[in-house]
Chain A
Amino acid sequence: MNSIILQTATRVLVALILVFSVYMLLRGHNYPGGGFIAGLIAASAFALFAMAWGMEAAQSALRIPPGNLAVSGVALAGLSGLMAIFYGDGPFSGQWLTLIGAKEEDGIVISNVLFFDIGVYLTVLGAVLTLIFALEEAS
């Protein structure tokens, strides 16, 4: 598609959608949202980019092959499940790491659940983009 309106709007929209997807990802920790939906949103940003600027532009904008993105996502999710081994708990059990302050007193706490969610995000983004690129290249 070669439309100036779409191309101009896309420049702004893609950035906005990507930021929104990260917001959705982090929000999913305590509220509705999460890695899956955020990954879909991010994938829609690249799909939009591909529509406006073409497949090659979208691929070079992504920089990493989407397949690798998906695989690294699965690896991250798997690793977050393995984290429990250092604490002597069962596989995939939740672990919280306190960064600043104490957990009870509004300190900053980071959990392996978050890493799992980021893994899901990357996997969904990579898998959907693999598919979109494959279908688009074929047609």
Chain B
Amino acid sequence: MSWLLALPFFIPITTALIAFLARGRKHLCSVISITGCFAALCVSIAIVTLVVSGGPQAAQMGDWQAPYGITLIADRLSAVMLLISAIVGLCVALFAISDINENRVKLGFHCFFQLLLAGVSGSFVTGDLFNLYVWFEVMLIASFALLVLGGEKIQLDGGIKYVALNLVSTLLMLTSIGLLYGLTGTLNMAQLHISLAEVDNPVAISTLAVIFICAFGIKAAIFPLFFWLPASYHVPPVAVTAVFAGLLTKVGVYALIRTFTLIFPNDLGFTQNILLGAALLTMLTGVLGAAAQYEFRKILSFHIISQIGFLILGLALNSPLALAGTVFYMIHNIVAKTNLFLISGTAQRLAGSYELNEIGGLYKASPLLSTFFFIAAFSLAGFPPLSGFWAKLLLVKASLDQTAYFVTAVALITGALTLFSMSKIWAEAFWKPHPQGHCKSLYSLSVAERLQRLLPVSLLASITLILGFMPEPFIEYALGTAGELLHPDDYLEAVLTGSSH
């Protein structure tokens, strides 16, 4: 049992080591990377089935009982995040075969990619705040390396802004963890839930909560802490952007959800208002920023920010339905966003640029790619019956239930503006004729490359369709997750009463 929970990060780290030793051979590296991702996928499926049938599962590292040792724990939220990140990892590893050139593979692309996945998975399974910090750093250093790998000027420029602002987040997180330890004497998240309720120092707790919002807020790219994201996400190869877009900011959101449902549940009012304000402004600024952009990947980058606003909104509303909305939105958004970036990469390959005024004619040249883009983009905009519609419906319903009509209005305006941006891409890149008069068709690529580019895209698109046409089991799962988050009794019991045997 305890080994199963360690596997989500053991497998990627092992894969990273093997990939590092094999880095001189491009194809071998890809095979290793894909095998590792597939194994991680199998493990996460096993964890999800276990959690659904048996509730939260905990494991104590080194057989040190909680709260003294490091606890690993998988509840419904962790399990689904593990599953979805494994799927994204597999898709991007497939896509990377044709997208990442030999030079980058030699410099260790697959090694850093797997380390990134290890950091992400580790963050999802850990039940210890300091361990979370360590996994964040594993993820961060791998993302630094991936971002500047290859060393083009534009990469260095974007990379330096990413590094500079994320280091601030790291230091804030470290400081707040230190202060929290000083206040309670423990860093085990379950124990913190109990210990912090006994601390009679509301000023210190509120201050800490705000520092945590800032620390995780930089990672999650919420307003006004998101400036590193549009500065850097369009500079690396698109496979890197896709995995960043799918997973990195979501880990920040995951940390926020954990912190504010498990550790600071008694400090509502105050932090909830901050989160709500930040969420609304994030939604609006993100989508307005996207409206001003004319580059494929920059538009998508600004949309990441806007979507983060929706995720935080559910957390801020803090009702079972709202949290379920956040969870469902997270699943939908990771899939759709990764897919859009992968599609933008293939669009650039066919049409020659990311600048919308330099490309066009993609619909005529490759209707298949256009269909996939249509599914992902209009799901993101919330078109019924695609997955984004159900995600937004849950959040809008939750805001209506709390008679927060202003919130509903902002959510709907953001949805409309998202539709505007997606239509802009659709009209410019897909419908209008190519300005230079030629856009390569998918059939001009070799069979292998076509497969490597389209297989992950079609896999993610089919998940979007399944989420859209059969949302009930997923919404049910999300509601179950929200229940666990709001009433963490099972979680506490699993961690603190030594369920390792």
Contact = CB atoms under 8 A, between A and B. Distances in A.
Contacts of B270: none
A82 B59 CA distance: 15
A85 B61 CA distance: 12
Interface in B264-317: none
Contact of A90 (B10, B13, B61): B61
Given A71-B20, A91-B2, A78 B13 contact: yes
B63 A93 contact: yes
A67 interface: yes
Interface string B57-70: 00111110000000
Interface string B173-214: 000000000000000000000000000000000000000000
Contacts of A93: 61-63
Contacts of A82: 10
A91 B61 contact: yes
Contact of B20 (A67, A85, A89, A90): A67
B61 A92 contact: yes
A71 B21 contact: yes
Nearest to A113: B62
B81 interface: no
A75 interface: yes
Select the residue from A74, A78, A91, A94 with max chain B CB neighbours within 10 A: A91
Contacts of A71: 17, 20-21
Interface string A63-107: 000011001001100100010010001111110000000000000
B2 A74 contact: no
Contacts, number: 36
A78 B10 contact: yes
B61 A78 contact: no
B3 interface: yes
B17 A90 contact: no
A85 B500 CA distance: 15
Contacts of B425: none
B49 to A, nearest CB: 21
Contacts of A92: 61-62
Select the residue from A74, A85, A90 with max chain B CB neighbours within 10 A: A90
Contacts of A68: 21
A90 B3 CA distance: 7
A91 B21 contact: no
Interface residues of A, number: 14
Interface string A41-81: 00000000000000000000000000110010011001000
Nearest to A82: B10
A98 B215 CA distance: 47
Contacts of B13: 74, 78
A82 B60 CA distance: 14
A79 to B, nearest CB: 10
Nearest to B13: A78
A90 B21 contact: no
B14 A90 contact: no
Contacts of B60: 90
A93 B62 CA distance: 3
A48 B13 CA distance: 32
Nearest to A72: B17
B347 interface: no
Contact of A78 (B2, B14, B59): B14
A85 B4 CA distance: 12
Interface in B62-95: 62-63
A65 to B, nearest CB: 11
B139 interface: no
Contact of B6 (A74, A75, A89, A91): A91
B17 A75 contact: yes
Given A71-B17, A71-B20, A89 B10 contact: no
Contact of B62 (A67, A75, A85, A90): A90
A71 B111 CA distance: 10
Contacts of A74: 13, 17
A85 B13 CA distance: 18
Interface in A23-51: none
B3 A91 contact: yes
B495 to A, nearest CB: 14
Nearest to B59: A90
16 contacts: A71-B20, A74-B17, A78-B10, A78-B13, A78-B14, A82-B10, A90-B3, A90-B59, A90-B62, A90-B500, A91-B2, A91-B3, A91-B6, A92-B61, A92-B62, A93-B62
The 6 closest A-B pairs by CB, nearest first: A93-B63, A90-B2, A92-B62, A91-B6, A93-B62, A90-B63
